[in-house]
Structures are given as structure tokens and as C-alpha cells.
Chains A and B, each alone.
Chain A
Amino acid sequence: MNKFKLLLIIFCLGFSSHKYYVSTSLFNFTDTNSLQITIRLFKDDFKDALKKKYSINRVLTDQVLIDSTFHSNINNYFNSFLTVSFDGVKNKLNFLGLENKNEMFVFYLEIEKLPSFNVISLDNKLLFDLYSEQQNIIHVKKNGIKKSFISRLNNSILSLNI
């Protein structure tokens, strides 16, 4: 978490000012044939995105989001902007919930009983509907090996042979 807050802050401490839109997600393939997805988004960014997509006018407090009131919206949001496909077949994400970590929300999503596949495609468009400068940093972990990628508006799809 801290790393990406650092990313934000440095541009303030160094010489200001340009707001840096960045998120991170970890895609972890477990020994039990599941894909565990942990996503960190800045709270204010995510609240704005949710309000915009679902025309929510009320103030969204942290607690209201963590309680299950908006979970179906959140589930829908992630399934709209984050696509995981195995050999071209899209797989639904199961949204487990979110946690409050300082200025970030941490979201937990999962796909259990993965099909056997050759190529996995990750299309991470989270918050692209809000900011064209948004960058989503993606870590993929399988069998202890970790690789990192960046998803941008013009280049959001990542296909991996793993």
C-alpha cells in the first residue's frame, strides 16, 4: 500500500502538484487452483467512480461502502471494468468485500476452480472512466514468481502465457 501512496506524495514533495492517478492489483494464482485478486484504489477516486457510474448523489462514507449496502454496485463495477479471460472466455469475478486501509480501499475478488488454459488475458480499465491519465499497476504471481505490468488507457489488455 505504502509504495503507491509514496508515488502520489513524491510528486507533491518534490515539486508539487500533478495529481498522480494510480492503482495496484495483485493477481495471485494459488496452489488450490484459484485466482485471488487484491486491488488497492484511492478512496476518493473510487467513490467518485461509483457515484458517476450509478448516479449516486448521497455522500459515501467509508463505512457505508464497507457495509454491504453497495456491494452489488461494487461487484458490478469490477465486473464491468476488470475482465479476466481464459483462452478468450470471460470469467465472472466473485466479489468478497473491501477493507479500509488509510487513504486506500482494498478490494478482494476471486475466481475459484480455474479452467485449464494456455493464455490468460487481464483487461484492467479500473477508473479509466474517470481519469484518462489513470495507470493501473498489475502484479501477477504464480509459483512464487512475480511479474509487474502497467495498464494504461491506450494499452489496457495484458495477455500472458503462464
Chain B
Amino acid sequence: MNYKKIVLLVLGFFVSFVGFSQDAKERNQENINVNKFRQLYQEFSSPNMFRTASGAPGPAYYQQQADYKMDIELDDENKRIYGSETITYTNNSPDNLEYLWVQLDQNIRKKDSPSLLIDGGGVSPAYLPSGFTKEFLTDSFDGGFNIEYVVDENKNPLKHFVNQTMMRVDLPNILKSGESFSFSIKWWYNIQDHVNQDGRSGYESFDKDGNRVYIIAQFFPRMAVYNEVEGWQNYQFWGDGEFALPFGNYDVKITVPSDHILDATGELQNRKNVFSKEMIKRYNKAKKTYDKPVMIVTQAEAEEVEKGFSKKKKTWHFQAENVRDFAFATSRKFIWDMMAVKIGDKDVMAVSMYPKEGNPLWEDYSTVVVAETLKTYSDYTFDYPYHKAISVHAKQIGMEYPMICFNFGRPNIDGSYSDDVKFGMIGVIIHEVGHNWFPMIVNNDERQWAWMDEGINTFVQYITEQKLGKDIPEIIYPLENFPSDRGPANMITRYMGVDQNFLAPIMSNPENVYSLGPNAYGKPATALNILRETVMGKELFDHAFKTYSKRWMFKHPSPEDFFRTMEDASAVDLDWFWRGWFYTTDYVDIGIKEVNQYFVSNEPSVAVKKIMEERGITKLRPLVFLENFENDTNSIKDKDPLDNSKLLNNYLNENELSNKEVPKFFYEVVFEKPGGLVMPIIVDFEYEDGTTKRITYPAQVWRKNDNEVKKLITSNKKIININLDPDLETADIDTSNNSWPKKQDESEFDKFKSKVKG
């Protein structure tokens, strides 16, 4: 900076200071930073020793451990389940704990559960007889845990208090950092009919043969998560917000009728006691069969067994390491098949269990889809670390647990099924098996953030569905691509364009959003897909996504850890994207407002003349002018620019630039943005010779003006069409303003009408 400028600055400052004091009342309002590209400092928690600014676990990161030893017994006749469990809880936090919180999720089924009272609705003036009966004449289900005791290692009762679905266990002594505490709980509860009484687990009755299929989960008192983000995560279970669970090791013995077939989380410890010799032979064959499932229990065998009702009992023993939960399924109706899948240098078993009512759909597709899911998810994240993945058929549930999940997709009674049922079943199996990664291993807090597992998982589900269509085309024949429900950008526009009163940001608690499906599954999955395919590109995205998965494998990530890692591993600033898509309900709508055409002229253009007049300028040095087509009084707009501007011609000749081609066409394209979200502008310019050129302006093109951006396009060929977002990849909710000249975009209604009116 030179001396003169400093003097001027000082003078300027002085003058403006005087001015300020005189006209204080007339000053403009100051700006605060509302730029769409500002960083998320207000929204994000501060980085710390537990979680770093790069999105990785920090040097002081810790997580608690909860190990379980359980004895479970199923009473098939009375539809009850009994259990006693010993929990060993290890305090790895730096904090002293005065009490522990244990989750009693079954208590949502207690007769007096407040969750029955939180939905509004009011009176109906009319009922169907069936609805009336259900509403007024049916006793509410007598569910929920019956806790028989809570005792310490020496069988001394422990003081405890149940608040809805959470039980506080008071510790006799402070549990210091690094210490463990063991205690035992004995409990039982009535199992509900999940077909008629809802829920994520329970039984289905088959009236024809008097059998039941049990899918059992959230069935034991489970430790809540304690960490530096929430303290104890003891937000009540109301029904929509799923689970937050610490990792641990499990040793579980389950006693069921001796004619039942059972599978569960964990490695079976007593195969010789519970398998017949023939089953073991088939199992050994399945372990070496990589191309198709091997039947462990055939349909004919299952149909034979379901006729009897054994009074004898059998105990199945499982152990699981480093899992966050435990679930099982048991029935004498189960058909069972398995095959091996190579993941890295390890063999994993893909397993399916289903009653005959699931066939022929289940024997044809379930295990094959499990295998394909294990491969694709491993490719995009990390190798599946467990030894098996089981898909169990339940009539209308899709629900996930470590190594085991329950999936819908039931054919008609005659065995026929529509494509909707088939692709719905394949989609849900991919989704629920995929949950092994998110949240079973990359273990987010589902109670608070449903999108972190549902949205991220639905995104990988989409990739897996599309890959399955390519890897095993006969499954989708005659379709060319798997008919995914979610993922592609244009599938979310209907949701994002609805009345704002019906929308909540993705960053909302799942209990409080209007429709959780598009909110926590569809929109975040689409956002990630757009990030991958349009904003970041596949290579950058896939590397960053894998980095996140690996960093948080067997740990508890928070939303910031995901957002930060995606930037950290890619060098793409994404705060604007996270802000718009995850923290607001804004939508994408970008359009072409107008296109102005210009030609080169020797005469001052109308615009220049106006400026001269305003400023009292009478003379200009010779310049090259660009004049709007509308002001072409001398009819020179179609002439060669070098004929129109001798000045330019001479300059090029003098500077030996005459070999350069001078553009003939100058277009000013005005892009407008009625929508709140910033997105890249993807635009195809179509020339009169039939060729097309695509330009992608990065989202940052909006950083200085959030409403309108002008671009000058030069060319030697005439542009006949301009199309915005030609491949529908930005989730633009209104495409009627996406082309120039404006295309009459026929509505769905008008299209149909002109079709039927011929």
C-alpha cells in the first residue's frame, strides 16, 4: 500500500465518520451472514477430544461395553417368553456413574403406556362394525415386561425405578471410570400377535395347522447408551424413534419346543445337539456351496413336522462378539436354506428361514439376494465382519438386528405373486440385511437420528438394487433396471414440492416429523445419491463414504462425524449442501428466465449511450460494442463480426491473432432460482447442426446472488435449444421453466387427455 492511498483512506474515514454522526437515523440495516455457503458453525457441535474436526474419533473417544449372559425360554402354548440375564457393564467413560439406565422397550405394550395416548384424532361419527369392535370391544393387550427381580452378583436386591420404557438401576457404590458392574434381571412378558396388533416382533398364527412363527426382538432389558453426546440416551421409546445400543458380547441359551427350528444372532455352540445327522451333512455341504442355496430343512420335512406339537424341549446355545443387540426366530414351520459367500478371504453364510406360505418366492430369491447384498455393501463400505446373515420371512414386517432380519413379501395362497410383491420382497431383504452395516456396526443413535441409518442404508440399498439388476439380470427380466422406489432424484420431487406445513427438516427427531418415510428414508437417500452422481462424482464420494464407514465401524457416530468426514476425505466444501438438504425443507427449482442475443457493432450500443448520457460523457475512445438484437437498426446482426467492427479486425491483424476464430453468436442466458436450495446448473446447449454441448456450473455460481445468475455464451453456431437439468438429476420440482425456447410442458393430466381423445 502506498502513502497516498493511506492518506486518502484516512480522509475518507474522517469524512464518512462525520457523515455518520449527522445521519445516524438514516443508516441502512447491517447485514448478518445469511449466505447459503456460510459454514455450519452454529449448527455443528464444537470439535473436541472425543470427536475431531475432521470427523474421526478423537484421542479421548470411548464407548461403554455391555456384556450379556442370558437364559431364555419360550412357552409356545401360552405365547409367553421368560428370561433371566446377567449384564456386565463396563464404564469406559472418564465419568463416575451413580446409576445405570436399562431400556424396557416391551413396556410400550403395557395397558397404561402413554404412547397409546399421544396421537390425536377425535371422534368418528361412523364406524364399520369391524372397526367398532376393534376400537371399543377388544381388551387392550396385556403386554410389557414383568420384572421379577433386579439383583447384584450376591443376589442382593438393587433399588430400581421404572419410568415408562426406561428403568433406572441405582448403584450401591459409584461406578468409577474403568470399573465394571454385574447385575441380574429376571423377567417375562406376553408375546403379541404382530399381524393383528402391530409391532416390530411377535408371532404370526397359522390357523390351518395351529402353528405359530415367532420373530423375537427387543425382548430383554437392554442397556442404554452413555456417551459424551447425550449423557445417558434415555429418550423414551414412543414407537417411531428406534434404538440406541452399546456394543457387547452375548452368551444366550434359548429353550423352545424340541420340534422347532431356530436361528439367532451369534454362532451356534451346540450344533450337534440340535441338528440331526442329516442336517449336519447338508450344513457341511452348504459351507462349500457358493452358487446356490442348499436346503437344510426341506418344505416336505417342515410340512411333516408342523403336524405334531412336541412337549419336549430343546436348548439352542449362541455366542456373539461385538454386537449391539440380539434377536431370534423360531417355529416348527421353518424351511431353512443356506449358501456360502466369499467376502474378502472369508466365507460368510447367507441364510433364509421361511414357512411354506412364503414359497415359491422365498426359495427362489431370498438367500441369493442376501448373498448379493453382502457382496455389494462390503464393496462400498468394509468387509462384512460377522459369519452369517439370516433373512426370516414375516408377513408384513421389515426389521433388522445383528446377523438376522425379518422381511415381508408373501405370495397369494395359490403361490402366485405380482411383480410388486416380488420386487418389494427383494428390496426389503437388501434393506434389512444392509442394516447390518448401518446401524448394527456403524452404530448411530437411531432414537435421535433415524436418517443416519435409514437414509444412508436406503442409499446403499439403491446402489445394491441397481447392481443386482446388472449382476443377475434374469431376476429382473424383462426389465432392464431394478425398479427401485427411492434413490433417483426425480422420485423425491413430489415430496419436496408439497405444502411446507407438511414438511420437517431431515435433522429432526423421528417422533416429530409428519411422514417419516420420505423424511428419513427417501430424502436423505436421494440427497446422497445426488451428492455422489452430480455434486462430488462417484470416485470422490465413494472414497469419502468408505472412509466414514471404516472410521466409525464398531463405534457410535453422530451426524457431524458423517458430515465432516465426507468433506475431510474429499476436499469438497459441502456445508451448503448439508445446510440446504438436511437442515431446511427448501427445494430445488432452477429455471431459465430469459435469453438475450447480442452482435458485435462499431457503434456505441444503446446501453452504452444511456450510460454516457447519465454521466455526461460526450466522447468515447474507439471500442468493440455488443448490441442487443432488439436494437439492430442497421440490419447487421447476422453479419461477420469482423465486418461489423473494423477496430477489432485491425487489432487482430496487428497482433498476429487473425488466425483466431471470432464467435458470431453472443447469448446472455439469465438463470433464475425460485427454489431455496442451491445446486449446480447443468445445461445442454443444442446447436442448429444437431450437436450438443453440456456445461455444468458448480453450485458456487449462486454464492453472490441467490436469485439470479447471468452467463454469456459465445459460439460460432446458432443455439436452437437450451435445456436445464436434462437428465433430471437435481430433484428440480418444477421443470416447466427448464427450457428455452419455453416448451409447453404437458401435464400428466393433459397427456392422458390427449391420448384418450386421440
Contacts and interface: CB of A to CB of B under 8 A. Distances in A.
B522 A12 contact: no
A21 B749 CA distance: 24
B553 interface: no
B428 A12 contact: yes
B124 A7 contact: no
B194 A16 contact: yes
A10 B498 contact: no
Contact of A154 (B124, B397, B499, B518): B124
Interface in B413-465: 420, 424, 428, 431-432, 450, 454
A2 B491 contact: yes
A96 B752 contact: yes
A146 B398 contact: no
Contact of B521 (A6, A132, A139): A6
A17 interface: yes
Contacts of A147: 499
Contacts of A56: none
Contacts of A1: 494
A59 to B, nearest CB: 11
Contacts of A58: none
A17 B198 contact: yes
A139 B498 contact: yes
Given A102-B483, A132-B131, A15 B399 contact: yes
Interface in A80-138: 96-97, 99, 102-103, 106, 108, 110, 131-133
Given A13-B521, A15-B199, A133-B131, 7 more contacts: A6-B486, A10-B516, A16-B399, A17-B194, A110-B749, A154-B122, A154-B125
Contacts of A36: 747, 749-750
Contact of B239 (A12, A15, A28): A15
A13 B515 CA distance: 13
Contacts of B240: 14-15
B532 interface: no
Given A13-B431, A146-B498, A6 B747 contact: no
Interface of B: 122-128, 131, 194-195, 198-200, 239-240, 242, 394, 396-399, 408, 420, 424, 428, 431-432, 450, 454, 483, 485-486, 491-492, 494-495, 497-499, 501-502, 515-518, 520-522, 747-750, 752-753, 756
B398 A6 contact: no
Contacts of A2: 485-486, 491-492, 494-495, 522
Contacts of B522: 2-3, 6
A14 B494 CA distance: 22
B398 A132 contact: no
Contact of A15 (B127, B200, B495): B200
Contacts of A13: 398-399, 428, 431-432, 454, 521
Q: Which residue of A6, A10, A15, A103 has the most chain B CB atoms within 10 A of its CB atom?
A: A6
A154 B125 CA distance: 6
A153 B756 contact: no
A97 B755 CA distance: 10
A18 to B, nearest CB: 5
5 contacts: A7-B517, A12-B397, A28-B749, A36-B747, A97-B752
A74 B124 CA distance: 27
A147 B520 CA distance: 23
B199 A16 contact: yes
Contacts of A76: none
A1 B518 CA distance: 12
A13 B455 CA distance: 12
Contacts of B515: 3, 6-7, 10
A9 B458 CA distance: 12
Nearest to B501: A148
Nearest to B128: A132
Given A2-B485, A3-B518, A147-B499, A108 B494 contact: no
A162 to B, nearest CB: 14
B199 A17 contact: yes
A79 interface: no
A12 B127 contact: no
Nearest to A38: B749
Contacts of A10: 515-518, 520-521
Given A132-B127, A154-B125, A108 B749 contact: yes
A11 B510 CA distance: 12
Contacts of A3: 494-495, 498, 515, 517-518, 522
Nearest to A102: B420
B753 A12 contact: no
A122 to B, nearest CB: 15
A118 B221 CA distance: 60
B419 to A, nearest CB: 9
Interface string A52-72: 000000000000000000000
Contacts of A7: 515, 517-518
Contacts of B239: 15
Contacts of B750: 36
Q: Which residue of A11, A15, A102, A146 has the most chain B CB atoms within 10 A of its CB atom?
A: A15
Contacts of B497: 146
B195 A17 contact: yes
A129 B270 CA distance: 55
Nearest to B432: A13
A-B pairs, 4 with minimum CB distance: A10-B517, A148-B499, A6-B517, A16-B397
Contacts of A108: 749, 752-753, 756
A38 B396 CA distance: 29
A47 interface: no
Contacts of A38: 748-749
A6 to B, nearest CB: 4
